Structure 1
Amino acid sequence: MNITWTPIQKQRLKELNASSIWQERHFESSNERDSEFRDLASQLVTRGRRHLEQFQKLTKRPLLSVLEQRLIEALTLQGFIQVMTPTIISKGSLAKMSVDDNHPLFSQVFWLDSKRCLRPMLAPNLYTLWKDLLRLWKPPIRIFEIGTCYRKESQGGLHLNEFTMLNITELGLPLNERQQRLEEIASLVMDAVGIDDYEMEVTNSVVYGDTLDVIKGIELGSSAMGPHVLDKKWGITEPWVGIGFGLERLLMVKEGAQNVQSMGRSLSYLDGVRLNI
């Protein structure tokens, strides 16, 4: 017989971060499957308890926090300046990004009232900073932000309503160096995270159109470059590059986790471990 895990068993194994190989197992009988499930779940629970014990006694900081610090150190060492901007943004700022009432992203926005929302992306605030920094600093202007964003995403294994974005930008560089610079920044980030064998592919974004994305099984980062049609709305004329990463997805790939929820802010998981063990 070709018997697989029951839906409840498979969900539990996913919560416990069983590898994809284990999740796709087939069995000759229900008894064999159920016996295998008990053994595997017990092993994964033991592994989770050991991790939490180490977390309590040794590491004391969540993977997400450690990754943020590692990225900050790597980027500032290469001349990028960290900025911190508001989580609440205006409807007008989103409209400048072409996210109006008819845009696909509009329905995913968490609105606070008719004029304000929780930011679904970091780009509007970085555009705003660019305008002032161009008056104060000489190009190239290299800034980045790590901050929480919010979207009404489907709760699948790759999406979160509340997620952590890293957005890195460089404003004022030669046109013919833009793609090379994007590849260099992507390499800087992936080296800091500890992920290799990734690819960069041209895909399409609902905001920027064609983008150069960082892929390793799943999309980890998405980039864009200017001059871009959006730039005029912000008064930007300098060539630029920008690339954004979801930190929870980076951790998911780095740690071999089976769902992105285990890597994010959660009351159900701590440092990647399901707490109902």
Structure 2
Amino acid sequence: MNITWTLIQKQRFQELNASVAQREMCFESQQDRDRVFQEQERILVQQGKLRLKELHDTKKRPSLCVLEQKLVEALTQKGFVQVITPTIISKGSLAKMSVADDHPLFSQVFWLDTKRCLRPMLAPNLYTLWKDLLRLWEKPIRIFEIGTCYRKESKGALHLNEFTMLNLTELGLPEDQRQQRLEELAALVMDTAGITDYQLELTTSVVYGDTLDVVKGIELGSSAMGPHPLDDQWGITDPWVGIGFGLERLLMIKEEAQNVQSMGRSLTYLDSVRLNI
């Protein structure tokens, strides 16, 4: 016989971030399956308790915070300036990004009232900063932000309503260097996150059109370059590159976890460990 885990067992393994090998085991009988499930669940629970003990005794900070600090250090050492912008943005800012009432992303936005929402992306605020910084700083202008974004995402192992984005941009570089620069920036982030063997794939974004995505099994980051049709809305004429990453997804791949919920802000998980163990 080729007996696999029950739906409840699969759900429990996902909660406990079981490995692929553990999740794909097959058995000759239900009795064997249930016995092995109890053994594997006990192992995963023990591993979780050890991780929580490490967090308490030595680590002191969740992996999401550690990754954010590493990225800040790596980017500032390369000449990027960190910025902090508002979480609440205007409907007009989204419209400048082409996210109007008929846009696919519009229905995923958390609206506070008819004119304000929680930002679903960092780009509108960075565009706004570009316009002023062009008057104040010499080019190229290199800025980045790490901040929380909000979307009414479909439920699943790869999506969060509240997630942490890194968006790094460089404005005013030679146009013929944009592709190479995007590859360099992707490598900088992935090396800092400790992820290798990723791919760069051309695809299409609902906001930017053609993009270059960073992929390792799942999409980890997405990039764009200008001049771009959106630039006119912001008065931007210089060539630019930008690339954004979801930090929880980076952690999920780095730690070979099974669901992104365990990597983010949560009252159910702490540093990827399910607290009902």
The TM-score, its normalising length taken from structure 2, stands at: 0.99
| CA offset digits 1:46-68 (Å, max 9, x no partner) | 01001101110000100000000
Which residue does 2:255 correspond to in 1?
255
Which residue does 1:122 correspond to in 2?
122
Which residue does 2:3 correspond to in 1?
3
TM-superposed deviation, 1:27: 1.1
TM-superposed deviation, 1:25: 1.5
Asked if 1:228 is matched to 2:236, the reply is no
RMSD over aligned CA atoms reads 0.5
TM-superposed deviation, 1:22: 1.3
Which residue does 1:37 correspond to in 2?
37
- In the alignment, the residues of structure 2 paired with residue 50 and residue 174 of structure 1 have an alpha-carbon distance, to the nearest angstrom, of 50
| CA offset digits 1:8-37 (Å, max 9, x no partner) | 110001111101221121111110100010
| 1:209 partner amino acid | G
TM-superposed deviation, 1:185: 0.5
Specify the SS of the correspondent of 2:221: strand
- In the alignment, the residues of structure 2 paired with residue 75 and residue 188 of structure 1 have an alpha-carbon distance, to the nearest angstrom, of 8
| CA offset digits 1:151-208 (Å, max 9, x no partner) | 0001110000000000000000111000000000011111111111111000110000
Asked if 1:98 is matched to 2:98, the reply is yes
Which residue does 1:195 correspond to in 2?
195
Count of residues paired in the alignment:
277
Q: Percent identity?
A: 75
- In the alignment, the residues of structure 2 paired with residue 14 and residue 93 of structure 1 have an alpha-carbon distance, to the nearest angstrom, of 38
- Structure 1 stretches of 4+ with a deviation exceeding 3 A read none
TM-superposed deviation, 1:109: 0.2
Asked if 1:16 is matched to 2:16, the reply is yes
TM-superposed deviation, 1:222: 0.1
- In the alignment, the residues of structure 2 paired with residue 160 and residue 245 of structure 1 have an alpha-carbon distance, to the nearest angstrom, of 14
- What pairs up with 1:14-93 in 2 under 5 angstroms? 14-93=14-93
TM-superposed deviation, 1:2: 1.6
- What pairs up with 1:126-275 in 2 under 5 angstroms? 126-275=126-275
| CA offset digits 1:54-107 (Å, max 9, x no partner) | 110000100000000000000000000000000000000000000000000000
- In the alignment, the residues of structure 2 paired with residue 26 and residue 105 of structure 1 have an alpha-carbon distance, to the nearest angstrom, of 40
The TM-score, its normalising length taken from structure 1, stands at: 0.99
- In the alignment, the residues of structure 2 paired with residue 164 and residue 137 of structure 1 have an alpha-carbon distance, to the nearest angstrom, of 28
Specify the SS of the correspondent of 1:2: coil
| 2:249 partner amino acid | R
- In the alignment, the residues of structure 2 paired with residue 24 and residue 256 of structure 1 have an alpha-carbon distance, to the nearest angstrom, of 15
- In the alignment, the residues of structure 2 paired with residue 176 and residue 32 of structure 1 have an alpha-carbon distance, to the nearest angstrom, of 61
| 1:194 partner amino acid | G
Specify the SS of the correspondent of 2:229: coil
- In the alignment, the residues of structure 1 paired with residue 117 and residue 127 of structure 2 have an alpha-carbon distance, to the nearest angstrom, of 17
- In the alignment, the residues of structure 2 paired with residue 73 and residue 203 of structure 1 have an alpha-carbon distance, to the nearest angstrom, of 30
- In the alignment, the residues of structure 2 paired with residue 105 and residue 172 of structure 1 have an alpha-carbon distance, to the nearest angstrom, of 29
TM-superposed deviation, 1:255: 0.7
- In the alignment, the residues of structure 2 paired with residue 263 and residue 150 of structure 1 have an alpha-carbon distance, to the nearest angstrom, of 16
| 2:211 partner amino acid | T
TM-superposed deviation, 1:3: 1.1
- In the alignment, the residues of structure 2 paired with residue 137 and residue 175 of structure 1 have an alpha-carbon distance, to the nearest angstrom, of 19
Structure 2: runs of 5+ lacking an equivalent: none
